[in-house]
């Protein structure tokens, strides 16, 4: 299984490496007010991907904090005792139902 994992990782790496080598053309990004940025196309794609990941992480931070606070609150609050845990129960043989008759001679 490890060999397949490493083969898959190698395939992904070489695919992305070939993508980078095939997209080295110079591109111009036009910003507002006449500003522009010239860079290789692969760098522009990498920066756009990194910005998207960063934006996604920043968008999830408030939800992560909320879940963390709830988990800490639940860890500090002891669970209420259940009725089964507080009352001892006894089971008599007549309370137990069998689907089949008990075996003889065992």
Q: What is the pLDDT of residue 62?
A: 92
The answer as to whether 28 is a domain residue is yes
Spatial neighbors of 45 by CB under 8 A, at least 6 apart, are 23
For residues 17 and 13, give the distance between their C-alpha atoms in angstroms, rounded to a whole number. 6
Beta bridge partners of 38: 28
* Total tally of structural domains belonging to the chain: 1
Tell me whether residue 97 is in a domain: no
Cα–Cα distance measured from residue 37 to residue 28, given in angstroms and rounded to the nearest whole number: 6
DSSP 5: H
Report yes or no on 39 lying in a domain.
Answer: yes
* Whole-prediction pTM: 0.53
Own/partner long-range contacts of 38-43 (Cβ < 8 Å, ≥24 apart): none
Counted residue by residue, the chain has a size of 106
Residue 93 belongs to some domain of the structure: no
Is a pLDDT exceeding 80 seen at residue 8? Answer: yes
Cα–Cα separations (whole angstroms), residue 106 to 18, 53, 103? 73, 67, 7
Q: Give the mean pLDDT of 33-42.
A: 89
What per-residue confidence (pLDDT) applies to 93?
65
Residue range of the domain that includes 72:
8-76
pLDDT higher than threshold 80 for residue 66:
yes
The conformation of residue 102, written as its DSSP 8-state character, comes to: P
Overall average pLDDT of the 22-38 stretch:
88
Average pLDDT of span 62-79:
87
Structural domain includes residue 1: no
The gap between the terminal CA atoms of the chain, to the nearest Å, is: 48
59 pLDDT more than 60: yes
């Amino acid at each position: 299984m490890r060999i397949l994992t490493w083969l898959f990782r190698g395939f992904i790496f070489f695919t992305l490496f070939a993508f980078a080598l095939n997209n080295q053309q110079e591109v111009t990004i036009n910003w507002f007010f006449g500003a522009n940025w010239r860079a290789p196309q692969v760098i522009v794609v990498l920066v756009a991907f990194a910005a998207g990941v960063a934006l996604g992480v920043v968008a999830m931070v408030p939800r992560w904090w909320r879940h963390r606070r709830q988990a800490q609150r639940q860890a500090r609050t002891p669970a209420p005792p259940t009725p089964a845990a507080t009352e001892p129960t006894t089971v008599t043989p007549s309370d137990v139902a069998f689907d089949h008759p008990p075996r003889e001679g065992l």
